[in-house]
Amino acid sequence: MGRFVQASDALMDYLSRVGAREAPAQIRCREETQKLPMAMMQIAPEQGAFLALLAKLTNAKKYIEIGTFTGYSALSVALAMPADGKVVALDVSKEFTDRARGYWQEAGVTGKIDLRLGPGLEALDRMINAGEGPFDLAFIDADKPNYDGYYERVLKLLRPGGLIALDNMLWSGTVADPKVADDNTSALRALNAKIHADTRVDMALATVGDGVMLARKR
């Protein structure tokens, strides 16, 4: 039996219908984002449901994400968290996150989300220096060459037992092709190997979406 399901159009449609329970604001965010030129940056609905379930399983009250785009991931986790939950969302784009604010407001979770605009590494360094945290859950879905830097900094901000989820870690399968050596693929391939050998964490690389690496801080 094969280890991977072939992602046919029919299967992807099926996943969209039964792979997640979406609030109206999530549906609108997803459908409107799909019309944008950069739509491929949005996570799939089943990934949003996956993050939301992780938040519940870890009893997360403090969540940080690097890469917010139009807000679907932050929205998914904010909806899953208790009333006193806190989301710190880091992104560089005012244009995209202005859209996100509208969906967050529609869903009634604006008060849970602290959006910070600017380079992610700098923002994380400021948070570390200010003693912010500890966080229960983190999601990394931003520029790939800086993933290792994000991982190291988030690990410092996470509590023991906290969980990091990193998106796009299979990169459409190219991480397994040694002939592909562009900056994005090389960065992800190297980080997969690093986390696999990292004794600071427990890990699993899951075939959710484009590959989600899970790393639990010991």
Residue 96 lies in a domain: yes
Residue 1 lies in a domain: no
- Structure confidence at residue 24 (pLDDT): 98
Question: What phi and psi values does residue 208 have, to the nearest 5 degrees?
Answer: -100, 125
The CATH number for 151's domain is: 3.40.50.150
Q: Are the C-beta atoms of 29 and 75 separated by less than 8 Å?
A: yes
Residue 24 lies in a domain: yes
Residue 68 lies in a domain: yes
pLDDT digits (tens, 9 = 90+) for 103-132: 999 999 999 999 999 999 999 999 999 999
Residue 57 lies in a domain: yes
Residue 119 lies in a domain: yes
Residue 4 lies in a domain: no
SS3 143: coil
What count of other Cβ atoms lies within 10 Å of the Cβ of residue 167? 24
Q: Compute the average pLDDT of residues 134-142.
A: 98
**Hey, what are 101's tokens?**
């604010």
Percent with pLDDT over 70 in the chain: 98
Taking all residues of the chain, what is their mean pLDDT, rounded to a whole number?
96
Q: Whole domain around residue 44: which residue ranges?
A: 9-217
- Structure confidence at residue 16 (pLDDT): 79
Q: Which residues neighbour 52 within 8 Å (Cβ) at sequence distance 6 or greater?
A: 76, 77, 79, 80
Tally of domains in the chain: 1
Q: What is the pTM of this model?
A: 0.95
Phi-psi bin for 132: left (phi > 0), alpha (psi -120 to 50), beta? beta
Confidence of residue 4 (pLDDT cuts 50, 70, 90): low
